[in-house]
Amino acid sequence: MRFVHGFISSVLWIIAIPLLLIAVARLLPFDGMIPLPHLVALTPWATLATLPLLIVALFARRKVLAVLLAAALAGYVYWLAPFFVPPSTSSPADPAHPGTLRVMTVNVLYGQADAQTVVGLVESQHVEVLAVQELTPAFEEALTAAGLDELLPHSFTVAADDSPAGSGLWSSTPLAEEEELPGTSFAMPSALVGVDGTSVRVTVVHPHPPMPTDITAWRTELAQLTEHVHADDARQILAGDFNATYDHAGFRDLLGSRFSDATREWGAGPAVTWPEGSQVPPLFALDHVVVERDMPVSDVVTMQVPGTDHRAVLATVVVE
């Protein structure tokens, strides 16, 4: 009998230790070292796994383990619950209102995404600003052939052949003060967009991913982006593949007290966007629309695009 109890206890601890480590990693105010970025990305899924394990630990009378799991679960719920709190506004914003901006971002996987689908979403979803990552010259031509220039005639693109380094920004209204964030692995173009008399700087975001062998570029580029956007007094919207979830400290540092993640503000749950298009369902919310904290958001959704491993993210942003 002792052997059975000991075996059950060992199994419970073996399952629990990774869940407890994820909670500790999420609690830390930094994530710039291996394996922290990869652990904290699992936070939403650790939440789902911790509850049944806690119930088993309680029935098995493993008091110490139950207390630790209860503390971890409390943290997980605290971190995750705001994603399910709807906005205080009584009705969704009207995308046709001149003070709103319908924004869409999509990573097109080295230009392998279906351009017709992208343009179709732009048209059907009344997109006014499109941010594209991993843009190639061939995909830019395919977008033009599919009619994107007729819907969004103004653009600032930095395409790259056979590389994830390209990015592009399209708009229904003229762009001004175009610039590119210097010193990054992948292009991050930005420009001012006019919204009912207000200029908003829209930036296409795509920092280097946190590779297990080296996360220096990821940490450095997120920090560089954070410093750059917070130094700019212009009202801003950031859209793209951030290669980070809300649970990453680097992403929360980027938000600071100034910006909000549109998905979290909309309150319909985390918008998982990667990996897409395989037998594994999307697990991580890497793609975001980030807005000024005083900009309400509405109708934040994800959409499938054939040919890419990311889902597109769309949001209506109330600028004025």
- Domain map (residue ranges) of the chain: 2-84, 100-318
Pairing of strands 198-205, 189-195: antiparallel
pLDDT digits (tens, 9 = 90+) for 212-224: 888 999 999 999 9
> Could you please report the per-residue DSSP string of 54-75?
HHHHHHTT-HHHHHHHHHHHHH
Binned at pLDDT 50, 70 and 90, residue 2 comes out as low
Percent of the chain with pLDDT over 70: 97
pLDDT value at position 320? 80
Arithmetic mean of pLDDT, 130-147: 98
Pairing of strands 100-107, 312-318: antiparallel
pLDDT digits (tens, 9 = 90+) for 32-91: 999 999 999 999 999 999 999 999 999 988 999 999 999 999 999 999 999 999 887 656
pLDDT value at position 95? 74
* Tokens linked to 278: 């395989």
Q: With a cut of 70, say whether residue 166 has pLDDT above it.
A: yes
pLDDT value at position 97? 80
- Pair 320, 297: CB distance under 8 Å: no
pLDDT digits (tens, 9 = 90+) for 228-258: 999 999 999 999 999 999 999 999 999 999 9
pLDDT digits (tens, 9 = 90+) for 193-211: 999 999 999 999 999 999 9
pLDDT value at position 94? 75
100-318 maps to which CATH number? Answer: 3.60.10.10
- Residue identified by tokens 């420009």 is 191
Distance from chain centroid for Cα 11: 35
In angstroms, the CA 1 to CA 3 distance is 5
pLDDT value at position 89? 65
More confident residue, 221 or 93: 221
**Beta carbons within 10 angstroms of residue 293's beta carbon:** 12
